[in-house]
Structure 1
Amino acid sequence: MATIEISGVSKVFKDAKRKADVTALDDINIKVEKNQFLCLLGPSGCGKSTLLNMIAGFEKPSSGTVTVDGQLITAPGSERGVVFQQANLMPWLPVWENVGFHLLLRGGQKAVRRETAQRYIDMVGLTGFENHYPSELSGGMNQRVGIARALLMNPQVILMDEPFGALDEQTRMDMQNELVRIWQEHQGTIVFVTHGIDEALTLGTHVAVMSARPGLIREIIPLDLPRPRDITSPQFNEIKRHVLDLLRSERTKPSLETLDHP
């Protein structure tokens, strides 16, 4: 059984001001197996984040179904952890309390929360920064805190919405490598939204290439490339050219301008 199954999903938003409907997604069908790392790749406005929000339970499809391990998704759940574009940390709490905040909500004792949070702080490479506050950390480090917080909930699925989009190039590359290491250690299923071709091909076991709005799945590409991935290798660039070919037919649509270029 697929961990995530998206069947015949469409999403139509009502525009009351203009008295018109906007179709964001149209007949999406995707299966994501356990321990896969699926990247949703496409131009801005193609519905990537909307699709991710449906898996998270924040949005409901206009038609079709989304299931996780056979259970219909109708609301957020602890089996699905979410990492947003911004880490959304609580600035008044140190790293370890941000990471362990879910345990605080469940009434966990301080010593237990601290011990549990430490395991995930170590996992994301923040050992030594347990008592630092978000304002004392870099953007990349704050995103690691957000990832650790999601992992602590021990979710079956981690959903990530362009979490490295605001980082500089070098920090983004470092975070990509760190995320792959964490994913391999955690053995979870990840769905990752991006509009960066190199990022998708660096991270994913599979890439779902989407069209401009209304979002359609152009192709789901399995990536059988060794890790760590060499973005200069002939194999990498052969796949990149294929992705670009899929997207070039969308070039007349303005939202494609946000995509990587060769």
Structure 2
Amino acid sequence: MPIIEMKQIVKIFEDPKRKTNLLAIDHVDLNVEENEFLCILGPSGCGKSTLLNMIAGFEKQTSGDVLMNQKRVDAPGPERGVVFQQPTLMPWLPVWENVSFHLKLEGVAASIRKERAKEYIEMVGLKGFENHYPHELSGGMNQRVGIARALMLNPSVILMDEPFASIDAQTKTDMQEELVKIWEKHKITIIFITHSIDEALILGTKVAVMTRRPGTIRETMSISLPRPRDVTSDAFNRYKRQILDLLKEEGELAKAASRSSS
């Protein structure tokens, strides 16, 4: 039984000012199995982040159902941790307090919060930075804090919206490796939005390729590659060419649609 199910999801954005409606997502069906690492990629504006926000409970679909463990998702919940493109940390709090903030809201004593946060701070490679503030850390380090905060909720599913998009190439490689280790150790389910084919193939057990807007799932493929994944291998590049062909075709369809409407 899938842990996440999206059934016939349609999303229409209404624009009262211009008196127009935009069909953003068109009848998406998507199942995510427990312990799966699903990467979703597709053209800009195809609705990847909108799908993720529906699973998180931040966005409401126009029609269709989003289910987690066969229960309808109507609001955010602690069983779904979210890591955003920007870590959205509280600048006035040190790392350990940012990571354990949800415990503060529950009235847990500071000494207990700090002790519990230590495990997750070490998990993301930030041991020694517990008392640093966000402005004292690099962008990649702040993103690690965001990941630690999501992990500390002990969620069944972690939703990640292009979390490594704004960091340098070497840091991105390091964080991809760390994320895979965390996923393997803790057996959580991860849904990861990306624009990068390489990133999707480095991380995912499965890749869902979306169409141009209105977005739907063009193809879902299982990725059978050993870890750590070799981006220079023939097998890796066969998957890459397959996805490139799908995206190229989507681009050509988008150009044809634009010409026909002009």
TM-score under structure 2 normalisation?
0.95
Show the counterpart of 2:3: 3
For residue 243 of structure 1, what is the aligned residue in structure 2?
243
Using the TM superposition, give the Cα deviation of residue 250 of structure 1 relative to its aligned residue in structure 2, in angstroms: 1.7
1:106 aligns to what? 106
CA distance in structure 2 between the aligned counterparts of 1:164 and 1:210, rounded to whole angstroms: 20
1:17 Cα deviation from its structure 2 partner:
2.4
Inter-partner Cα distance in structure 1 for 2:122 and 2:174: 16
In the alignment, structure 1 segments of 5+ residues that lack a partner are 256-262
Partners of 2:89 and 2:180 in 1: how far apart? 22
Equivalent residue, structure 1, for 2:143: 143
Spell out, residue by residue over 1:179-210, the C-alpha distance to the aligned partner (whole angstroms, 9 max, x if none): 11111122110000111111111110100000
Q: 1:247 to 1:92 in 2, by over 3 A?
A: same
Cα deviation, residue 253, structure 1:
6.6
User: What residue is the counterpart of 2:185 in the other structure?
Assistant: 185
Question: Which residue type is aligned with residue 56 of structure 1?
Answer: A
Give the residue type in structure 1 aligned to 2:67.
T
Aligned to 2:72: 72
Aligned with 2:229: secondary structure?
coil
Matched with 1:171 is: 171
Equivalence for 1:14? 14
2:258 alignment partner in structure 1: none
Alignment partner of 1:246: what SS?
helix
Q: Equivalent residues in 2 for 1:37-52 (5 A)?
A: 37-52=37-52
- State the 1:44 CA deviation: 1.0
Q: What secondary structure is seen at the aligned counterpart in 2 of 1:249?
A: helix
SS in 2 for 1:115: helix
- The match for 1:53 is 53
Deviations 1:38-85 (A, max 9, x none): 001011100000000000000111111001111100110111000001
**Aligned-pair distance for 1:227?**
0.6
Moved beyond 2 Å, runs of 4+: 252-255
1:216-257 CA-partner distances (Å, limit 9, x unpaired): 1010010010111111100000000000111111224779xx
For 2:225 and 2:232, locate their aligned partners in 1 and report how far apart those are by CA, in whole Å: 12
Cα distance between partner residues in 1 of 2:189 and 2:70: 15
Structure 1 residues 141 and 253: CA distance shift in structure 2, 3 A: farther
Q: Distance in 2 between matches of 1:186 and 1:94?
A: 26
Are residues 1:234 and 2:234 paired? Answer: yes
Q: Secondary structure at the match of 1:250?
A: helix
How many residue pairs get aligned? The number is 255
Percentage of matched positions with identical amino acids: 63
- For 1:101, the aligned partner's letter is F
Q: After TM superposition, give the deviation of residue 213 of structure 1 in Å.
A: 0.3
Q: CA RMSD in A?
A: 1.2
Q: Secondary structure at the match of 1:59?
A: coil
Return the offset for 1:15.
Answer: 1.6
Q: Which deviations, in whole Å up to 9, do the C-alpha atoms of 1:158-189 show, x marking residues without a partner? A: 00000011011111111111111111122110
Deviation at 1:18, TM superposition (A): 2.2
For 2:213 and 2:59, the matched residues in 1 are separated by 17
CA shift, 1:37, in A, is 0.5
